[in-house]
Structure 1
């Protein structure tokens, strides 16, 4: 085939690919962005490695840091056991011996995670080139460097050069290791491009579509290899010596011109992650196509400006992606158990109230400032009713959405007298016909916090402070009638009843509620909502949650001291397993039947940490919905209950009497310490390493012999002890919630020696 024919075939491929590209999907993931404000280096991270203890090592051009899941730690410059002498770093990698090799100009250093020490090696064979040699691959026995027209093989155990192979052709700084532990590299000459096996000294001529500069060579398995240029890629079968796939990148994308082999990493046997400038895509190994683009939890781009520099998948299922402008992304690629329902336009996502209608495949959302938005149950936006008044520039606040019957919802607007009906089946919004039995009701307008209470089909109770009235929907007309305060007996309702703001205090004025609040030192102004739990009442307040029986006896109290991250309760609901779920300014919390608390935050897929007053619902199949400032979350509690992955816990620092042990100590590997009696005030710091950052876990500890039960530290990652002379065994654990049955994940034995005058020999 002539060059002209090749070009025509590629143009034809481009046309055929356009339709397919449009059909490619996005995959939403929650993420956390870390940068210099968190203690990370301001330099761009070019290489990421995980050691055997789960600590991440981050390599920038002029420094190296390690990250323990909570804090970044700088490795000092120097030639010591706990220093690095490199002035310009290239990369880092993990050897088969679980050591980390750091490569820099004119040398490399090997880190042993068991003792926290570095061993330094200078490459005396290297000439004065500023670039020196670069690491390209590692076999089970050797680390392979490339540069200056040769490959250097360094024995992983002895750390000395075992052999040198000179280039036979022009070579690319790309390599891989096959299942037989053989090193494969790409080279070319005037006759074509070759796949060289440096282990057994064989070559395979590769077919190429057109003359182009390939940036990355990537081996999918022992039979299939792929090579990527800036604008196209090709998949090649080594055994059959045939091209099995030629493709172009998703529309508007290309491989960045300075791409490296580390821009492609294996996710599993079916897929890989590939950097395409400012996006990360999944590449399928079966049909060799780009299938999914990674996006944020609400469908937004992970990166708006700049590009991704490197990616790394750790053993906990977290994808780490460094960027040149924004910092380091912590992306949880596990299946999202919490669904986010939100518009692409963030200003439409403040969900004030909503009604999930699975029977009609819709979720009707009332917003702050954007009127009414209708989604389907998969989160796809279907309709938008702005509901703006003629000539007004300000948006419309929907204050309440209430079910009238199987056909209609009633929609109330804050500060407006016009009321609407939403046809659930036809999904049509229409202005409601109204009739007022009491003339003064005609001039009343819905306030921000009032939530209608459904008494029965077509019958609603509504309160505006001292003004109580009933709304009946009869014959296509909403009929408003004032009722006396004795009309509603809250003890006979199941709730939830919302009582926030002075205009709604009348709802909580019964002697029963007053007595309950007084017993915990609160009054009506603290009360937010009330919820019936069988025969008991749960009171949501600005100071936490409280459960009372029908005799006003306090059964449970949940606040910050008991494990809630925030006490300002916005809403609460009881699921099918009689667990309490509540929202606040720091996410959502679950309280199981034992009273144990599990907290969920933005890092686990929530729309944000801040939720909205009264925005909660449960469908007949048990799915829960919570509305917040950036959208709506939905989940099945039983699915979240099954997610009980235990993180790894590491000790990061130990000090006595405020004097730290040497900072270069491998604290995570210490099992026994001895102190003098005058050094008995100990501080032990630690963190959990898992799919979430360290501050998201709950910590607990106990001193065997002193503590009968675990002590709950909540999110505090240190313990302070003053120990008398003796031997102690300290156990530490971490999890999603405080758990009395949790097993210790770290054990530290401490011995405090008695003063000499109390020794047996004195």
Structure 2
């Protein structure tokens, strides 16, 4: 510790602090566009449950990583937050959340009831809060809660629920000099420091007084006088840092020992607004002119500012608050820029990009090559701007670019590769301008280019890769010119030897488009080509053996387009291709393939490096993957959320220093990191059940509610027997890439296994559960796969109905027994009385009965014969109809077919066994393989068997018209269907007037946001819902049927084509007239109006639940009325991601 403080002191003696290379950090933003109530965030905390809270100028916000809940003052609700202007948030050691406001006192959040209780200043009560303007809260090491207000300091008494106050008093010498309290901090000696608008004060615990403190200045400008204190902060060593409008300083041994301002340091602004220590010796300083990360030991600042050209930069330069949550995510509140946050992974992965309008920056963001030279300088080759050279000693860039007017210059600005030989000469490969040898000492470029007439020159100016062997010979991968070899002795002469592909020469190079050259540790030369696979050079005979892709051989190389070759520490050879990663097996002379099935985000492998733990780090077209060679699986994929320049990396753009640091370049800059610095976030998430719904309606606590407190605080729910369909919403409160959090849930006594889900589906729904006791359990993991092993659980008891309870069953059984016994006794007495009378009557009628017996038996036998014949006929008819039903069902599209393209539902209710209605679904691909999807609801004349036959004819004709004849426009399809029906039923030679009404749509994707819908209708309109307008619309059909003797056809009236443009989540509804014309018991039609009302009331439900809602609405309306016609409703939801 002494040594550390010595280093601190040494750093403070430096007059000017250091600049560091400004590595970009990817800031993620949370603004009003994403649901934040307002964009000026004054305070941030995380509560005991794990929610993040943000106090703004207009409302309090609770964030779960996906959704924001806003709390605002409601004048009619005394339990709402007291004011919308939130100035301070604080979680005390008891877990209470204190909310300070600008002029309405304090509110304390009650998580059980999800509301607030408050404290206000009462002039007549000296034990009330001193002022309604709350500036800050602080809890010291003794458990005292201090509150800074605009009228002094308050100390909260937990036991008596009251406040004692400290204010400026002219009679107290050297007391508080100002009542406007801005901040508190406690140093290593447990001294409490207080910041005000007029100086710093210390708390005298013995006399319970605050004393104004006059500083002695040490190693600082004595003219500096931090009167107005914006913030105080005590770091992990107990040192108190002071932020004021005059800059940053610190209190050391009761002295101001150092002052940092814009005049003597790299701090971005003097107005210090927030201070936070993320790691020992690493301070984050918020100013009115940006954010800075201050390395105390090195006295080094790294500044971050808003950049309009960089969407991942700080959203606003005025930083108002800094906070770190339990998952080690750093949060920054800003003025007018909302909340910014970064996670540990993104801060460990360095990101470097060109900064517009700055001189000391990268020349381009398109990074094609990276190299670290013998002087530890980083050479960054670009696609379009030459080379940028970063010197870590001078903290500056120098540049090498092509100058057409200067012969001593780079030959071109597209740099493919950079290497340094043993003499310090840099070899630079360009794409299209040949090779350059740069002697830095002499500032001289020696350029080599392809010459057709020079047999010893390069064969192509496109050079993709350079390999310098142990003898300092140069090997070049040229694209189109094969492999060129320059011996050390011929470097000055430029005499190249070239190996090329020759059709006339056996065992020559398989392809001249060479992408990579690599010499293995055993001296084997490997050559990767684009289209010709991998080649091994055999020195005896100077021939090549080619390894190419074979579709019938899984042990062949996975693709003939080779991008990279790498040998790991165990002498294994790895080949990256456009079709996956390959491991060469020398014993079998074949390959083992790895790809997306092993966890890679895609199969395009750009670069391969190895860390000290023998894991491979691989760039792809979709991020970076960390690959476990032993387990043969990807451990983790990293993307832009982790701080990558882009998910797309470039071929050849990688390098690894001897200290293990890796560099990868892509289309938006480059990344650098030490693999060991990228740690797994070992903090498991906290789980919260944040919403409970019955029949899709959110349940709130109340006297008549099954919830007596908020669902997040509930561990047992008792429901009535009819409350047996419910759902739970849950969330894992871990904010390091919450979109990658995963979940597992189970309803004990119902689910057989745990159900896995992701962050997009954070709910579980159960319907029609039987009475009984259940337990809903859910657990989750963070983005690194660290699970919360305990999870969270709620017991659910569904009570049995009263008629199924044990007491009712006993009472009912007893009553039934008594009634049966009474009936039995009375029956016995009545029978005995009647018995005597009947004996007489029996004798008299016996003779007559015997006479009639023979006649009755004869008639019975005749009836039995007739009944058997009728029953046989009925069985035959029923079998025929059921077979017809199977045939009809076979022509209907399956749910899986439709659901592969659209979210959908179908209400299909035949009046009889078979139906005259049917739905039709088809897909037709054009020459460019772009599909058009056809959907129709068809209502044929009649129902039952006649209608079923018509539906078979209609379905067959629709398939013939679209698939065989090739008619694609819905209006033309209806015209041809009309002609075919008339022809099939021979209606021109008869009076047959059968036909069908049709609602037909053709749906085709336009782009990633919209689809085109073409609609034509024969007496059946199209109903559609536009989600962006929250509006139902009706597109009318033509008043003309298919088939029959239509007067409108005779008049030459054609079907009209309607063209519509729909977006994601819009819905279509195709119906027959059965649902519209269905009667109630009082013979009133369900009607279009009621149908559309049921659609609109359920339009926000999933399609499955909307189907149930519309069905229930129709059933409730019908009551016990007979179904009068076949009913069909075909609902389609546009899902852009499926089409």
- The answer to whether the aligner puts 1:634 opposite 2:634 as a matched pair is no
Distance 1:108 1:463 in 2: 72
- The answer to whether the aligner puts 1:598 opposite 2:636 as a matched pair is yes
Distance 1:206 1:77 in 2: 40
Highest RCO, 1 vs 2 (Cα 8 Å, sep ≥ 6)? 1
Distance 2:24 2:447 in 1: 41
Q: What are the Cα deviations for residues 122-152 of structure 1, in whole angstroms up to 9, with x where unaligned?
A: 444399x99833244444344535345x544
Give, in angstroms, the shift of residue 100 of structure 1. Answer: 0.9
Could you tell me whether the CA contact under 8 Å between 1:185 and 1:198 is conserved in 2?
no
Distance 2:574 2:205 in 1: 74
Q: What are the Cα deviations for residues 403-438 of structure 1, in whole angstroms up to 9, with x where unaligned?
A: 77775553222222x420245x85966214578697
Paired residue for 2:696? Answer: 659
Distance 1:714 1:223 in 2: 42
Larger Rg over CA atoms: 2
Give, in angstroms, the shift of residue 590 of structure 1. Answer: 0.7
Mean Cα deviation higher: 96-105 or 435-444: 435-444
Q: What are the Cα deviations for residues 279-323 of structure 1, in whole angstroms up to 9, with x where unaligned?
A: 34567999xx9753444899x996596422222344444432222
Distance 2:340 2:563 in 1: 37
Could you tell me whether the CA contact under 8 Å between 1:420 and 1:430 is conserved in 2?
yes
- Judging by fraction of residues, say which structure has more helix: 2
Distance 2:774 2:404 in 1: 75
Give, in angstroms, the shift of residue 97 of structure 1. Answer: 1.8
Distance 1:511 1:282 in 2: 53
1:565–1:201 Cα change, 3 Å:
same
Paired residue for 1:110? Answer: 108
Paired residue for 1:733? Answer: 780
Question: Could you list the runs of 5+ residues in structure 1 that have no partner in the other structure?
Answer: 1-16
Distance 2:144 2:100 in 1: 18
Could you tell me whether the CA contact under 8 Å between 2:366 and 2:668 is conserved in 1?
yes
- The answer to whether the aligner puts 1:292 opposite 2:301 as a matched pair is yes
Distance 1:710 1:441 in 2: 69
- The answer to whether the aligner puts 1:72 opposite 2:68 as a matched pair is yes
Paired residue for 1:686? Answer: 731
Paired residue for 2:133? Answer: 133
Could you tell me whether the CA contact under 8 Å between 1:283 and 1:291 is conserved in 2?
yes
Distance 1:656 1:522 in 2: 54
Q: Which of 226, 230, 248 matches 2:245? A: 230
Give, in angstroms, the shift of residue 445 of structure 1. Answer: 4.0
Look up the SS of the partner of 1:615 in the other structure: strand
Q: Which of 28, 33, 36 matches 2:28? A: 33
Distance 1:738 1:518 in 2: 36
Distance 1:102 1:356 in 2: 52
Task: Give RMSD over aligned pairs.
Answer: 5.4
Could you tell me whether the CA contact under 8 Å between 2:27 and 2:314 is conserved in 1?
no
Paired residue for 1:251? Answer: 263
- The answer to whether the aligner puts 1:580 opposite 2:616 as a matched pair is yes
- The answer to whether the aligner puts 1:415 opposite 2:427 as a matched pair is no
Distance 1:619 1:704 in 2: 52
Distance 1:639 1:188 in 2: 42
Question: Could you list the runs of 5+ residues in structure 2 that have no partner in the other structure?
Answer: 1-11, 171-176, 216-221, 355-359, 512-516, 536-544, 702-708, 810-1139
- The answer to whether the aligner puts 1:94 opposite 2:91 as a matched pair is yes
Paired residue for 1:701? Answer: 744
Paired residue for 1:369? Answer: 384
- Judging by fraction of residues, say which structure has more strand: 1
Look up the SS of the partner of 1:633 in the other structure: strand
Give, in angstroms, the shift of residue 274 of structure 1. Answer: 3.9
Distance 1:236 1:578 in 2: 47
1:250–1:172 Cα change, 3 Å:
farther
Give, in angstroms, the shift of residue 110 of structure 1. Answer: 0.5
Could you tell me whether the CA contact under 8 Å between 1:56 and 1:66 is conserved in 2?
yes
Q: TM-score, normalised by structure 2?
A: 0.53
1:760–1:111 Cα change, 3 Å:
same
Distance 1:525 1:82 in 2: 69
Distance 2:641 2:306 in 1: 10
Paired residue for 1:4? Answer: none
1:84–1:512 Cα change, 3 Å:
same
Distance 1:498 1:315 in 2: 48
1:92–1:125 Cα change, 3 Å:
farther
Give, in angstroms, the shift of residue 349 of structure 1. Answer: 3.8
Q: Which of 52, 56, 63 matches 1:60? A: 56
Q: What are the Cα deviations for residues 159-204 of structure 1, in whole angstroms up to 9, with x where unaligned?
A: x433344530452423536479886656899xx9865648834454
Give, in angstroms, the shift of residue 85 of structure 1. Answer: 4.0
Distance 2:131 2:210 in 1: 28
Q: What are the Cα deviations for residues 388-409 of structure 1, in whole angstroms up to 9, with x where unaligned?
A: 3339999711123357777555
Give, in angstroms, the shift of residue 56 of structure 1. Answer: 1.8
Distance 1:758 1:454 in 2: 89
1:202–1:634 Cα change, 3 Å:
closer
Instruction: Map residues 549-628 of structure 1 onto 2, 5 A cutoff.
Output: 557-559=594-596, 563-565=599-601, 568-575=604-611, 577-592=613-628, 593-594=630-631, 595-619=633-657, 622-628=660-666
- The answer to whether the aligner puts 1:464 opposite 2:479 as a matched pair is yes
Q: TM-score, normalised by structure 1?
A: 0.75
Give, in angstroms, the shift of residue 74 of structure 1. Answer: 1.7
Could you tell me whether the CA contact under 8 Å between 1:400 and 1:452 is conserved in 2?
yes
Could you tell me whether the CA contact under 8 Å between 2:617 and 2:624 is conserved in 1?
yes
Distance 1:74 1:232 in 2: 35
1:94–1:306 Cα change, 3 Å:
same
1:733–1:316 Cα change, 3 Å:
closer
Distance 2:295 2:313 in 1: 21
Distance 1:565 1:331 in 2: 23
Paired residue for 1:352? Answer: 368
Mean Cα deviation higher: 746-755 or 41-50: 746-755
1:507–1:334 Cα change, 3 Å:
closer
Give, in angstroms, the shift of residue 387 of structure 1. Answer: 2.3
1:141–1:683 Cα change, 3 Å:
same
Could you tell me whether the CA contact under 8 Å between 1:597 and 1:738 is conserved in 2?
no
Distance 1:258 1:360 in 2: 39
Distance 2:437 2:470 in 1: 18
Give, in angstroms, the shift of residue 60 of structure 1. Answer: 0.9
Distance 1:310 1:701 in 2: 35
Distance 2:394 2:443 in 1: 19
Distance 2:469 2:746 in 1: 54
Q: Which of 746, 750, 753 matches 2:791? A: 746
Distance 1:267 1:661 in 2: 39
Give, in angstroms, the shift of residue 667 of structure 1. Answer: 5.7
Paired residue for 1:20? Answer: 15
Look up the SS of the partner of 2:41 in the other structure: coil
